[in-house]
Amino acid sequence: MAIEQAKISVGDLQRGMFVSKLDRPWTRTPFALQGFYIRDLEEIRQLQKYCRFVYVDVHKTVGSAGVTLRRLLGGSDTSARGRSSGRTAVTIPCKPVTVSHKKYPPPQPAQREASNARKLHGQILYGMSEVMGFVANNRPIPVQQVNQVVEDLVESVLRSPDAFAWLARVRDKDEHTYSHSVRASIWAVLFGRHIGLSRSDLLKLGVATLLKDVGKLAIDGEVLQMKQRDPRSELEYRKFVQHSVKMLSADPQIDPKVIEVISAHCERHDGSGYPEGLRGDRISVLARMCGIVTFYDEATNPRGSSEPVAPSRAVAKLYDLRGIAYQEQLVVEFIQAIGLYPTGTQVELSTGEVGVVVEQTYDRRLRPKVMIVLDGQKQTLSKPRLCDLAEVEDREQKLIERGKMSVEEKISILRDIEPGAYPQVDAANIRDNYLFRGGRLGQLLTRLTK
């Protein structure tokens, strides 16, 4: 059965409605998700600004708005979630997570935090190297050092999420085996900042995500490297969670809540995870978040691949698992936290030009700052050009209002691109040039962009 959609005038929108389609392309609006619940009047005002009508998924719409819509269409007040995808609708007890998007001050420019973030990133990588060495030799983990470096990570991300997003998104050539845990820890803290976790919980989440895989040192290397594990090998692999818990529980300095997160980060919303088969509310919020960032980083950095994949592919995979493997609310919040085009993403504009997202515009996620390096014919520009799509949109809107430009002519991101699609695009070099303007590479970029 197909999704039942109702065409609704933007003047008739209500909170609780699930907007599944617009009267224009999603990329020409500030909405980062292709499908979302209307939560407040500001979102209604935004829709009224950009659209004349929208399509609302009747079965996903909740509250009194859902009851009214289903009655008008002759349906019953029952949820048909998952009918379009063939998924079985199930009720999983799970209370909404309290979210506070404005708990922390607006982010500072990434360039202001970049040097500190790069230094700290190096300390985290070195620290993880030490941790793995200590665990391999049955020596106590330097807990105080781990806590301190994660505390510094938290404070850096609170100041400027984009500075560390660069380091999580763009792979360097000297990739370490434990880089997944470092990247996932960065995504976790970014996620926690977005929903307004306390500093204490941000620290616990960051430490847990960083240390969650130490138990893999107790798993046979051949099992770890298998691309397709048979049932027996999969059961052996899954023991890494218990190994991690056992190793870390032996240290009285490790916060018990950190161990709780690690023990449940492979559990799934619908009970299909391991080791206990917990579901819904029985999985702590921090463990649910750890599971989401782990999945996202593994989806963007597949095992055996020399390059990360386009974020849209990883986001699509994650979004398909909402309400199944992962709590839907948290999936939506995470995607909003990182945006469809995280810093470091290679993108193609509607002009045909190619560039790299260098910084987010937090109130307009589809309008980031992009460093353009290839022209419309995919030839390398002699001078890289910084394009602030939010500022461009403001100028274009004034031209449209004066009748000097059509909506169809507006510049937007057409799609994200797989890293490596254009070998001449060096995202790591663009990162260094953009973030570290005070250094030699930064001075070069300053000359090129004058």
How high is the pLDDT of residue 304?
65
- How many other CB atoms are there within 10 angstroms of residue 388's CB atom? 15
Q: Would you say residue 317 has pLDDT above 60?
A: yes
How high is the pLDDT of residue 103?
95
CA–CA separation, 230 vs 167, rounded Å? 34
Mean pLDDT of 66-77: 58
Q: Would you say residue 292 has pLDDT above 90?
A: yes
CB 66 within 8 A of CB 79: no
How high is the pLDDT of residue 228?
82
Q: Would you say residue 438 has pLDDT above 60?
A: no
When the candidates are 3.30.110.70, 1.10.3210.10, 3.40.1170.10, 3.40.190.10, the CATH number that belongs to 110-338 is: 1.10.3210.10
pLDDT (tens digit per residue) in 375-432: 999 999 999 999 999 999 899 989 988 899 888 888 988 888 988 899 999 988 898 8
Q: Which of 88-97, 112-121, 192-201, 260-269 has the lowest mean pLDDT?
A: 88-97
CA atoms within 13 A on the CB side of 188: 34
Mean pLDDT of 176-200: 91
CA–CA separation, 105 vs 308, rounded Å? 31
Q: Which of 13-22, 81-90, 177-186 has the lowest mean pLDDT?
A: 81-90
Q: What is the sign, positive or negative, of the torsion defined by CA atoms of 177, 178, 181, 187?
A: negative
Residue 160's alpha-carbon distances to 211, 265, 426, in angstroms, are 24, 26, 23
CB 116 within 8 A of CB 303: no
Q: Would you say residue 311 has pLDDT above 90?
A: no
| pTM more than 0.85 | no
How high is the pLDDT of residue 437?
62
CB 229 within 8 A of CB 223: yes
Do the bridges between strand 18-22 and strand 36-37 make them parallel or antiparallel, or are there none, so unpaired?
antiparallel
How high is the pLDDT of residue 64?
64
Mean pLDDT of 12-25: 84
Mean pLDDT of 310-320: 86
CB 356 within 8 A of CB 413: no
Q: Would you say residue 445 has pLDDT above 80?
A: no
CA atoms within 13 A on the CB side of 47: 30
Q: Would you say residue 92 has pLDDT above 80?
A: yes
Do the bridges between strand 346-349 and strand 18-22 make them parallel or antiparallel, or are there none, so unpaired?
unpaired
Q: Would you say residue 59 has pLDDT above 90?
A: no
Average pLDDT, the chain: 84
Q: Would you say residue 83 has pLDDT above 70?
A: no
Q: What percent of the chain has pLDDT over 70?
A: 86
CA–CA separation, 39 vs 276, rounded Å? 34
Q: Which of 83-97, 250-264, 341-355, 405-419 has the lowest mean pLDDT?
A: 83-97
* All CATH 1.10.3210.10 domain ranges in the chain, comma separated: 110-338
- How many other CB atoms are there within 10 angstroms of residue 394's CB atom? 12
Of 212, 238, 223, 219, nearest to 131 by C-alpha is 212
